[in-house]
């Protein structure tokens, strides 16, 4: 029996993370698909025909990248936070504590697991959007720069995975988890420019919106997708990398100080 | 000299104002089954939780095979198998998956053979595709044991492994524990079944309110601290007086004497002839007497 304490624990945990959300694929993939379709229908197709965003692109083209990022972020956050909370509930988080797994292995496995789910949801959302776009305009929506799209999806997914890890370890009950999701993250996502451009805001509110790091991630991805953005994409990249470093530190701290105890 | 699989020194654990452990020291010898006994709340689980690093000690040290237990003691952790007092649930995963994951956490990538062998040995093979909540209480216990063993540890921590288990399974688990000892595992076991401890444990420690009250070879503890019960049935009414007398009148008398006092000595002290005796019943002392002695109110 060979023992490898570097890759095997990491790979096992990653495999478990992916298997976990694949067992409830209906919840993890179909729900975001329905959500995205509803948003596309309400905002993109029906209301969107009355909205102009400048530089000649229809509102739907503007909305789709926002929805893609929103799905990715939400699902990455949900994956890590609910994985940890479920493990606290069942008690198997105690197993992880007793096992020779290091913090970086836990962070990497949970982060990448969440990212996989985030990317799957992003792909599903993009597909739904592409179909809606084709239905309306008779042509496929291409990418301005796929590399930039993937870069921001990866950054955003990992950032939200880290936030989910932090909240999962600190939370003492389900209410605290949903409070963070509902009162903090959701408003930040909605106000981060998923549905609108900050150019449409009065100056004061535009400045407020600029303080929201999510604005940069969402706009960075939108630049990659359609070449349009409220902020310079390199600035967006810098802000996202800083946010990743900060949330990584936060997640590491939660892992070291937070509770592995069952509820 | 072989290293002690588990050595705790002056272990202290406080939960806020609660003093769960107050400076407990002992060491488990290689290849023995060591019983950690004590009433509810004595601090047994707290001690085990410190060894599994789930809890941080307030003071004192733990050495596992000579290595001090620190934050990331991966090597020490690999040597430990742990059956928690509470059943762990694993949501969507099946028995077999749970064991595969558990082996992986301990760095064992190819564990199929070990898993099948363990599941068969613990009569769980036919339940390998069931989820934890689909198993009966006894099966869950056995799954916890399989998990603790899947990475081939050298020190096994069993926190009440037979709680809520039926008589037949308990006997099987006893045999299983003996087999594991035979294979060279060192085992620390907690239980509230004193008969179980008496049967299985080479040595026993009794803790009460976070303090070690007694530690010795099981039979030595019984020898030293328990009393045997002697019941005499005589062929005529008598009146007897003796320091060891418990109760009696007429022809029937009961004594509690020290474990190693010969019957003849008692009889001659009572001035009873063998001819006067119709029947004698003797019951040896048990670990239960020892336990009660060290944990009852006012003890020590
Ligand atoms: N997480 C905790 N927070 C606060 N107090 C605790 C905690 N865990 C245990 N205690 C307290 O520490 C003491 C020892 O508890 P412990 O679980 O170690 O006892 P035990 O010997 O395992 O008991 P049992 O036989 O009932 O399992 C008890 O007074 C208990 O209430
Ligand atoms: Mg206990």
**What's the CA gap between A28 and A114, in Å, rounded?**
11
Task: Give me B43's structure tokens.
Answer: 């601090």
Q: Measured in Å, how far apart are chain B's first and last C-alpha atoms?
A: 35
Phi first, then psi, for residue B276 (nearest 5°) are -80, -10
Q: Does A8 touch chain B if contact means CB atoms closer than 8 Å?
A: yes
**What's the CA gap between A87 and A81, in Å, rounded?**
10
| Nearest residue of A to residue B49, measured between CA atoms | A98
Element (H or E) spanning B253, and its range?
Answer: strand B252-258
Q: Do A101 and B105 touch (CB under 8 A)?
A: yes
Q: In sequence order, what are the residues at sequence separation of 6 or more whose Cβ sits closer than 8 angstroms to the Cβ of residue A243? A: A155, A159, A213, A216, A217
Interface test with B, best of A2, A3, A85 (most B CBs within 10 A): A3
Domain boundaries, chain A: 3-258
Q: pTM for the full model?
A: 0.91
Residue B135 has pLDDT above 60, yes or no: yes
Q: What is the mean pLDDT of residues B187-207?
A: 97
**Number of the ligand 1 atom closest to the C-alpha atom of B44:** 21
* Residue B162: half-sphere exposure toward Cβ, Cα within 13 Å: 22
pLDDT of B4 reads 96
Q: Which of the residue ranges A108-112, B239-243, B290-294 has the most confident prediction, judged by mean pLDDT? A: A108-112
Q: Give percent of chain B with pLDDT exceeding 90.
A: 77
Element (H or E) spanning B13, and its range?
Answer: strand B6-15
Q: What is the mean pLDDT of residues B83-93?
A: 92
pLDDT of B299 reads 46
**What's the CA gap between B158 and B6, in Å, rounded?**
13
**What's the CA gap between B176 and B192, in Å, rounded?**
19
**What's the CA gap between B216 and B211, in Å, rounded?**
15
Q: ipTM of this predicted complex?
A: 0.91
List, in sequence order, every residue forming a beta bridge with B7; answer none if it has no partner.
B27, B63
Residue B300 has pLDDT above 60, yes or no: no
Cβ-based contacts of B103 with chain A (< 8 Å)? 12
pLDDT of A118 reads 96
pLDDT of A54 reads 64
Tell me the H-state helices in chain B: 44-51, 74-78, 95-105, 112-121, 137-149, 167-182, 194-200, 218-225, 263-270, 287-295
Q: Are strands B203-208 and B186-190 parallel, antiparallel or unpaired?
A: unpaired
Coil/strand/helix, residue B293: helix
pLDDT digits (tens, 9 = 90+) for B146-167: 999 999 999 999 999 999 899 9
Domains of chain B: 1-79+187-226+286-300 (3.40.50.300), 227-284 (no CATH)
Spatial CA neighbour of A126 closest among A191, A186, A59, A37: A37
Q: Is the dihedral of CA A83, A84, A89, A90 positive or negative?
A: positive
pLDDT of B297 reads 63
Q: What is the mean pLDDT of residues B180-208?
A: 97
Cβ-based contacts of A95 with chain B (< 8 Å)? 88, 102, 105, 147
pLDDT of B233 reads 93
Q: Does A172 touch chain B if contact means CB atoms closer than 8 Å?
A: no
SS3 per-residue string spanning chain A: CCECCCHHHHHHHHHHHHHHHHHCHHHHHHHHHHHHHHHHHHHHHHHHHHCECCCCCEHHHHHHHHHHHHHHHHHHHHHHHHHHHHHHHHCHHHHHHHCCCCHHHHHHHHHHHHHHHHHHHHHHHHHHHHHHHHHHHCCCCCCCCHHHHHHHHHHHHHHHHHHHHHHHHHCCCHHHHHHHHHHHHHHHHHHHHHCCCHHHCCHHHHHHHHCCHHHHHHHHHHHHHHCCCCCCHHHHHHHHHHHHHHHHHHHHHHHHHCCCCCC
Ligand 1, residues at Cβ distance < 6 Å? B 15, 18, 20, 38, 40-46, 85
pLDDT category of residue B298 using cuts at 50, 70 and 90 = low
Q: What is the pLDDT along chain A (263 residues), one digit of tens a residue?
A: 789 999 999 999 999 999 999 988 887 888 988 989 998 888 877 777 777 676 778 889 999 999 999 999 999 999 999 999 999 999 999 999 999 999 999 999 999 999 999 999 999 999 999 999 999 889 899 899 999 999 999 999 999 999 999 999 998 888 888 899 889 888 898 889 898 888 888 888 888 889 999 999 999 999 999 999 999 999 999 999 999 999 999 999 999 998 888 88
pLDDT of A174 reads 85
Q: Measured in Å, how far apart are chain A's first and last C-alpha atoms?
A: 35
Task: Give me B136's structure tokens.
Answer: 């009966």
Q: What is the mean pLDDT of residues B48-72?
A: 92
Spatial CA neighbour of B180 closest among B64, B77, B33: B33
């Amino acid at each position: 029996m060979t023992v490898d304490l570097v890759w095997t624990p990491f790979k096992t945990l990653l495999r478990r993370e992916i298997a976990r959300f694949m067992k409830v694929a209906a919840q993890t993939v179909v729900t975001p698909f329905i959500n995205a379709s509803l948003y596309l229908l309400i905002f993109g197709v029906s209301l969107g025909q009355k909205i102009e965003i400048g530089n000649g692109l229809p509102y739907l083209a503007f909305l789709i990248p926002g929805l893609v990022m929103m799905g990715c972020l939400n699902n990455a956050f949900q994956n890590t936070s609910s994985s940890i909370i479920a493990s606290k509930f069942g008690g198997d988080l105690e197993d992880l504590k007793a096992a020779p797994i290091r913090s970086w292995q836990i962070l990497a496995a949970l982060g990448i697991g969440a990212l996989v789910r985030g990317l799957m949801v992003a792909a599903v959302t993009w597909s739904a959007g592409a179909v809606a776009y084709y239905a309306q305009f008779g042509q496929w929506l291409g990418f301005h720069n796929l590399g930039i799209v993937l870069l921001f999806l990866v950054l955003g997914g990992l950032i939200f995975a880290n936030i989910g890890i932090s909240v999962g370890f600190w939370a003492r009950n389900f209410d605290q988890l949903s409070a963070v999701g509902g009162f903090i993250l959701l408003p930040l996502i909605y106000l981060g420019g998923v549905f609108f451009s900050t150019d449409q805001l009065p100056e004061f509110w535009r400045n407020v919106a600029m303080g929201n790091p999510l604005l940069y991630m969402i706009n960075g991805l939108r630049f990659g997708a359609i070449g349009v953005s409220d902020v310079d994409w390199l600035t967006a990249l810098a802000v996202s990398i800083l946010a990743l470093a900060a949330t990584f530190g936060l997640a590491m701290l939660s892992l070291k100080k937070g509770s592995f105890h069952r509820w | 000299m072989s290293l002690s699989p588990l050595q705790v020194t002056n272990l202290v654990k406080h939960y806020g104002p609660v003093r769960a452990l107050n400076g407990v020291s002992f060491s488990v010898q290689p290849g023995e089954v060591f019983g950690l006994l004590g009433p509810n709340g004595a601090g047994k689980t707290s001690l085990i939780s410190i060894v599994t690093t789930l809890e941080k000690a307030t003071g004192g040290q733990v050495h596992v095979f000579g290595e001090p237990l620190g934050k990331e003691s991966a090597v020490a952790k690999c040597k430990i198998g742990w059956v928690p007092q509470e059943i762990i649930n694993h949501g969507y995963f099946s028995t077999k998956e749970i064991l595969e994951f558990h082996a992986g956490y301990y760095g064992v990538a190819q564990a199929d053979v070990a898993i099948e062998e363990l599941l068969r040995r613990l009569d769980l093979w036919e339940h390998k595709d069931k989820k934890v909540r689909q198993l009966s209480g006894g099966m869950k216990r056995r799954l916890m044991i399989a998990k603790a063993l899947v990475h081939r540890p050298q020190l096994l921590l069993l926190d009440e492994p037979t709680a809520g288990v039926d008589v037949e399974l308990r006997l099987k688990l006893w045999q299983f524990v003996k087999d594991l000892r035979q294979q060279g595992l060192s085992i620390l076991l907690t239980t509230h079944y004193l008969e179980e401890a008496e049967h299985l444990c080479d040595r026993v420690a009794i803790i009460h309110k976070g303090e070690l009250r007694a530690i010795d070879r099981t039979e030595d503890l019984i020898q030293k601290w328990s009393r045997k019960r002697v019941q005499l049935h005589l062929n005529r009414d008598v009146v007897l007086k003796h320091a060891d007398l418990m109760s009696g009148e007429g022809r029937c008398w009961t004594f509690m004497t020290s474990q190693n006092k010969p019957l003849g000595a008692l009889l001659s002290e009572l001035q009873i002839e063998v001819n006067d005796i119709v029947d004698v019943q003797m019951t040896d002392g048990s670990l239960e007497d020892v336990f009660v002695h060290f944990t009852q109110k006012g003890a020590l």
